[in-house]
């Protein structure tokens, strides 16, 4: 049942809240067969939902989807036949895909996303008469699929941007049920909140803040004369141990699990590193997300052929920490498997780009 416990700031929905009749007699077009696309399509199919995978004729993913027993059509044809069009291609590709499919999205249909960027920043402007929703699993696609097959669920987000039929939320919940998200819990949000918090988290903490902190810690030790290997172990390798503890039980479990020396050192020195100045910088990053500055910059960067993006990626790949890390990871028992997994991830990335 819907979780009305005051410990949650918003509604959380579970299996009992979803009416599968809202989707069982409908056709879903899943556009893209990358990280999220393959998981949504396969889970929907296993749940008995009529699924069409929409891929361009030259897509390298067509054979994979067909080998998985799924029907594949062009995005335009899939969208024209479907009642629900789930747009799971990369953000940068979505506006062009929308131009391909828009004539086939009719009044009463649903346009669905797993991230709100293009709707929130008006890169896609949906027509009147069409419901616009979001079901966003909070996990990479391979885990969404793995959890479903194990009879478990992946938490997800639900948002309604446009409810023209009066049943957008109920239909989205049924979709979330069919891909397994309501087994774990689906949190209600908005397109604005999901987009802005997602971009901020990526930039200030998860992808930008953490990597910058790791590199600066590494450089501080190496510049002070310590070995690159010790700097890597202390500033990058052990990061996983700490993050795993926080992931499993919050910061409280992490503090309870580390030594008293580590706890006192962290509690007494952490705010000296990430201080009020860092907080001010974070607020500036958030403001650039909220007022659209970042979105305009990223859109212009793609239109220009990604010159800054390419330069930044190359600089990151050539950082000294990557060189020493490649050698050290080979010492671990899981090091032999890492290369194969990296190749698999690279293939998935190429699929996303192609789709």
DSSP-derived secondary structure letter, 104: G
Q: Which of 38, 40, 115, 177 is catalytic?
A: 115
> What is the distance between the alpha carbons of residues 177 and 27, in angstroms, rounded to a whole number?
15
- Residue 163 counted as an annotated binding residue: no
115 is catalytic: yes
- Residue 234 counted as an annotated binding residue: yes
Burial class of residue 90, CB neighbours in 10 A (0-12, 13-18, 19+): middle
DSSP 265-280: HHHHHHHHHS-HHHHH
- Residue 212 counted as an annotated binding residue: no
- Residue 314 counted as an annotated binding residue: no
- Residue 22 counted as an annotated binding residue: no
- Residue 33 counted as an annotated binding residue: yes
DSSP 139-163: S-HHHHHHHHHTT----EEEEEEE-
> What is the distance between the alpha carbons of residues 91 and 295, in angstroms, rounded to a whole number?
11
For residue 3, list its beta bridge partners. Answer: 12
DSSP-derived secondary structure letter, 136: E
Pairing mode of beta strands 156-162, 131-137: antiparallel
- Residue 198 counted as an annotated binding residue: yes
- Residue 338 counted as an annotated binding residue: no
> What is the distance between the alpha carbons of residues 28 and 78, in angstroms, rounded to a whole number?
8
Q: Which residue has the tokens 């309604």?
A: 160
Give catalytic residue positions.
115
Annotated binding site for substrate: 259
Annotated binding site for Mg(2+): 198, 202, 234, 238
Annotated binding site for NADP(+): 33-36, 59, 61, 141
Annotated binding site: 33-36, 59, 61, 141, 198, 202, 234, 238, 259
């Amino acid at each position: 049942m819907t979780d009305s416990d005051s410990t949650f700031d918003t509604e959380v929905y579970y299996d009992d809240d979803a009416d599968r009749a809202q989707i069982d007699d409908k056709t879903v077009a899943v556009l893209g067969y990358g990280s999220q696309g393959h998981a949504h399509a396969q889970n929907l199919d296993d749940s008995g939902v009529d699924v069409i995978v929409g891929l361009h004729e030259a897509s390298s993913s067509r054979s994979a989807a067909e080998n998985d027993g799924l029907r594949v059509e062009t995005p335009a044809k899939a969208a024209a036949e479907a009642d629900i069009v789930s747009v799971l291609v990369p953000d940068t590709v979505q506006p062009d895909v929308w131009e391909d499919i828009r004539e086939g999205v009719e009044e009463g249909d649903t346009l669905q996303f797993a991230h709100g960027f293009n709707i929130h920043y008006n890169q896609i402007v949906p027509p009147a008469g069409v419901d616009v929703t979001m079901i966003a699993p909070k996990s990479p696609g391979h885990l969404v699929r793995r959890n479903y097959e194990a009879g478990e669920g992946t938490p997800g987000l639900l948002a309604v941007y446009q409810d023209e039929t009066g049943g957008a939320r109920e239909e989205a919940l049924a979709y979330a049920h069919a891909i397994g998200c309501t087994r774990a819990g689906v949190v209600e949000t908005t397109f604005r909140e999901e987009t802005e918090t997602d971009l901020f988290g990526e930039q200030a903490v998860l992808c930008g803040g953490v990597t910058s902190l790791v590199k600066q810690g590494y450089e501080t030790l190496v510049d002070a004369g310590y070995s690159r290997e010790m700097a890597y172990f202390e500033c990058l390798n052990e990061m996983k141990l700490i993050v795993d503890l926080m992931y499993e039980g919050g910061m409280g479990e992490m503090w309870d699990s580390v030594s008293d020396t580590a706890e006192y050192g962290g509690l007494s020195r952490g705010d000296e590193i990430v201080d009020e100045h860092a907080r001010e910088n974070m607020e500036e990053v958030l403001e650039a997300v909220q007022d659209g500055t970042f979105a305009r910059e990223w859109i212009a960067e793609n239109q220009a052929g990604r010159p800054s993006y390419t330069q930044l990626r190359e600089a990151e790949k050539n950082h000294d920490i990557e060189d020493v890390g490649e050698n050290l990871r080979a010492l671990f028992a899981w090091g032999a498997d890492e290369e194969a997994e990296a190749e698999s991830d690279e293939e998935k990335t190429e699929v996303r780009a192609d789709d």
